[in-house]
Amino acid sequence: MNVSNSATGPNKNPSIPNAPIQKLSPEEEKKKFEKTKKEIDKIKDFSVKKFKYILAMSILPPQSIPKWIEEEEAPVESKDHVHLAIIIPDEKIKETAKVREEVLKEAEKSKEKVWLHVMTPAEIWEICMDQKFDLSAAIGMSYPLYDKGLLGALRVAEIHKSLVIQKFEKYVVSYCIGGSLVRGDAEKTSDVDVFVIINDTDVKRMPRRELLERLRGIIYQYVAEASQIAGVQNKLEPQIYLLTDFWDSVKDANPVMFTFIRDGVPLYDRGTFMPWKALLRMGKLKPSPEAIDMFMNMGDGVIPRSKKTLLTDIFTNIFWGVSTPAQALLMLNGCPPPSPKYLVNDFKDAFFKTKMIEKKYVDFLEKVVKTWKDYEHEKIKEISGAEIDSLLKGTADYLARLKKLREEIEKKSQAETIERIYKDITEALKRFIGRKSQEKIVEEFDKNYVKKGKFNNQHLRMLKEIIKARADFKKGKLDAHKVDLARKDADVLMRDLIEYVQRQDLRSVDKGKMKIKVKDKILELLNANGKTFLFDGPIVKKVTTKIEDSTIEEVDEAVSKQKDKENVEINSKIFDMLKKEYGSFEIVF
């Protein structure tokens, strides 16, 4: 090592941000980059494992190194080194020498020349306070090796700042950061609070409000672009102020502005923000008497406001927290969701009268609804801590009971579901198998319908699963998931059974249909259940020993009875009656 803060070794990576530039082919560049990256990663892995509190570790940009040397933050002999920045928490500042010593020992094993910059967030912000914005920008735009969130948050702010200043340098007075980033506890998902102050003192061509809205719209547009370029999850939260408005707020003792001036850190400043900060520290920024009166008067109403807020929060949370689950259980039980006006009565009818819940829970629901109404009509002005405790205790007990009630409703619903699907399936099977025992139905379904190709093995499996699900449920072995599977199987099986029955019905009905041609008119005959009907357009007639008027209801009844019969019976005397009525006719199909 030729300097106390570096590790010696030939530079093998001109393509990494800090390495000296050489004229190399793309393939050579790639090889050197990979080799250098591998060496630097070894140092990084050692560092973060040895010092778990490290917040970030990065490589400073090569173009910034002359500036670090110029500001005497690094010696001249480090100009060809890879400059590593290690950021540690403020409370670990006493560990700086130890971190530097241990990391340099590891760096000595490397084939790269390394210079270390060990700093805390407070030291970075001090660089900003000293208006050395080139150095703070270099840290923000450094190549990240390891980051718990601080470096990424600073990077996205730096990129956004550059976009804003590039577009509006004439108008930007200060661009500052605040919040978790300045406190040093920024994470990879932390919001980044930034403040942009716009100079409106010489605006002549447009109203100040219009200027603010235009600039605000464009500045907000840059947020997404900055996040994309930075490649971080941190969301920028910019606040834009006109200089005149900002100064008025300072004079009026606006707490937000005072906090911003006190805690904010400039990433860019045209000699305005730092004087404000100094004046505030010196006690020179003081609110006007009118502002003092305004803020003092706010204290006069704190007690009534607090009581009103307490009432609002307590009653709103308890009312909706008690009434909404009650509505949910009514819907689960098959009732439409009632309005608050009818909630108690519906709840009582559905659960208390059916002995599913005890009276004290109905009474508590009624008490909460009544209390809410009294609050809305301003009959209740205050509430004591004891009353709040009582309501909260009652709510906890009530909600615990409703959870048990839900289990009971779901179990009841499951029982009804499994019985319904079992009954529907067996009744559908009896339509063409006959009224037989469960065992015989399964046996005949398999023998006469599955094995003969009218249904498949999947249908037989579904039937057996539904029967098994019903038996398991009666033994208490079935859960909601298996009931739902049985329901889905039943839907498929029922659909196919109905389709089969309909095909059979249509087949039996079609056997009894024919058409006759009388002169130039086509009439339709339907034979069903030993009866013959004649359709002449919308007119329905019945043909027996004579032709007489009939109805669609009589036709439906005959067709329904015919569905259960295999053969269609047609009386030959029908044709004699038709010939007698219409003369000669021709049967057409």
pLDDT tens digit sequence for 307-357: 677 777 888 888 888 998 898 888 888 887 677 788 999 999 999 999 999
Share of the chain above pLDDT 70, in %: 88
User: 439-443, 508-512, 551-555: which has the highest mean pLDDT?
Assistant: 439-443
d(CA 359, CA 363): 6
Mean pLDDT score of the chain: 83
Of 356, 381, 380, the C-alpha closest to 368 is 380
CA angle 202, 207, 208 (to 5 degrees): 60
Of residues 250, 253, 223, the one with CA closest to residue 239: 223
Which burial class, exposed, middle or buried, applies to 504 when counting CB atoms under 10 A from its CB (0-12, 13-18, 19+)? middle
Judging by beta carbons within 10 Å of its beta carbon (0-12, 13-18, 19+), is residue 503 exposed, middle or buried? exposed
* pLDDT tens digits, 372-383: 888 888 788 777
146 forms beta bridges with 57
Q: Which two tokens stand for residue 206?
A: 């447009």
C-alpha 365/C-alpha 342 separation (Å) is 12
Write down the number of H helices and E strands in the chain: 21, 15
136 vs 139: CA distance, rounded Å: 5
pLDDT at 265 over 90: yes
User: What span, in angstroms and rounded, lies between the C-alpha atoms of 520 and 347?
Assistant: 69
- What was the pLDDT predicted at 419? 87
421: left (phi over 0), alpha (psi -120 to 50) or beta: alpha
The three-state (H, E, C) secondary structure of 273-305, written as one string: HHHHHHHHHCCCCCCCHHHHHHHHHHHHCHHHH
Strand order through the sheet with 531-536: 547-549, 539-543, 531-536, 521-528, 513-518, 586-588
Domain definitions of the chain by residue range = 1-148, 153-299, 302-383, 412-507, 511-588
**Residue 498: how many CB atoms within 10 A of its CB?**
13
CATH tag for 153-299 (out of 1.10.10.10, 1.10.240.10, 3.30.460.10, 3.30.70.890): 3.30.460.10
pLDDT of 526 strictly over 90: no
Closest to 252 measured CA to CA, from 304, 293, 309, 215 = 293
pLDDT band at 20 (very low <50, low <70, confident <90, very high): very low
Q: Which residue has the higher pLDDT, 255 or 490?
A: 490
Model confidence at 7, in pLDDT bands (50, 70, 90)?
A: very low
Per the CB < 8 A criterion, the answer to whether 113 and 8 are in contact is yes
Q: Which residues, listed in sequence order, are joined to residue 265 by a DSSP beta bridge?
A: 177
Predicted pLDDT of residue 23: 58
The stretch 84-106 carries a mean pLDDT of 93
Q: In which band, very low, low, confident or very high, does the pLDDT at 253 lie, cut at 50, 70 and 90?
A: low
Of the ranges 104-108, 304-308, 339-343, 449-453, which one carries the lowest mean pLDDT score? 304-308
Query: What pLDDT is stored for residue 377 in this prediction?
Result: 81
pLDDT tens across 486-520, in order?
A: 888 888 888 888 887 767 666 666 667 788 888 77
